Amino acid sequence: MAEADIAYVATAGAAGLALALSAWAARLRGRLAERNRALEAAMGRAHGDISARDGALAAFEDVRVALTPGGGADRLGSPATWDVIVRDLTNGSDVAPSDPVLVVLDAVRAAAGPRLDGLIDRGEAFDAVLEGQSGAWAVEGRSAAGAAWLRLSRLGLIGTAAESGLGLLADYYPAPTWVVDAGGRLAWANRAWLAEMKVETVEAARDKALTFDRGADA
């Protein structure tokens, strides 16, 4: 074979190899682009799920803490609610704690230490009440997905007379009538109770720590 023929064959072979490599690279780029689009779609769905979760948590005045046997902790809930509960449990301190979770865990351990250990070690559910500066907080301890969960929510007050017919009847009942929450604090009182205690609102009675027990008020 003449040198010219050899050169031609070599050139044709190199060109064919280059075309094959170009085609392979194009297919590879196509697969990578398709994979990137799938990953971006999955990330978009994940961000949507996270936003929906954060929105659902922010819609209610509660916070949640995930605990693991190794000592790890993750907190969920709106920053505003965390600020409220930390300030409430630290008696209104303006000094921001280094870790809000530790504030909550210290308060729960002080109120229900053995039950908190039972939740973390054995998954035993429990309920407790924390007393804050402005009211009581319900604590629910539950186990799920290999983690121990704490949910803290403000103990709700009984609705006012305008919110239900039953409340309206109770509000105008001639005898003093009242309700306390799980922490023993006044949650609701009717007009007769307020008149007897010489206060205008339940909030005023709570601020003065009034009770209908004369012995307790003495």
Strand runs labelled E in the chain: 62-67, 73-76, 126-131, 136-144, 147-154, 178-180, 186-189
* pLDDT at residue 160 in the model: 41
* pLDDT at residue 170 in the model: 67
Average per-residue pLDDT in the chain? Answer: 77
Type and span of the H or E element at 61: none
Residues 146-175 as b/e (b if ≥16 CB within 10 A, e otherwise) read: ebbbbbbbbbebbeebeeeeebeebbeeee
Q: What is the 3-state secondary structure (H, E, C) of 137-178?
A: EEEEEEEECCEEEEEEEECCCCCCHHHCHHHHHHHCCCCCCE
* pLDDT at residue 74 in the model: 85
Asked if pLDDT for residue 182 goes beyond 80, the answer is no
Contact 45, 30 (CB under 8 A): no
Asked if pLDDT for residue 92 goes beyond 80, the answer is no
Asked if pLDDT for residue 103 goes beyond 70, the answer is yes
* pLDDT at residue 95 in the model: 60
- C-alpha separations of 154 from 60, 88, 214 in Å: 10, 11, 28
In this structure, the number of other CB atoms found within 10 A of the CB of residue 132 comes to 21
- pTM (global) more than 0.85: no
Q: Give CA–CA dist 53/47, Å, rounded.
A: 10
pLDDT > 70 in the chain, percent: 72
- pLDDT 10s digits, 6-57: 655 556 666 667 777 777 888 888 888 888 888 888 887 877 766 665 555 5
The band of 151, judged by pLDDT with boundaries at 50, 70 and 90, is: very high
As a whole number of Å, the end-to-end CA separation of the chain is 122
Q: Where are the domains of the chain?
A: 1-59, 60-154, 161-217
* Residue (of 75, 77, 73, 36) closest to 56 by Cα position: 77
Domain 60-154 CATH class label: alpha beta
Q: Give CA–CA dist 126/118, Å, rounded.
A: 9
Q: Give CA–CA dist 105/204, Å, rounded.
A: 31
What amino acid is encoded at 139 in this protein? V
The band of 4, judged by pLDDT with boundaries at 50, 70 and 90, is: low
Q: Mean pLDDT lowest for which of 59-63, 78-82, 158-162, 211-215?
A: 158-162
* Residue (of 167, 174, 151, 185) closest to 64 by Cα position: 151
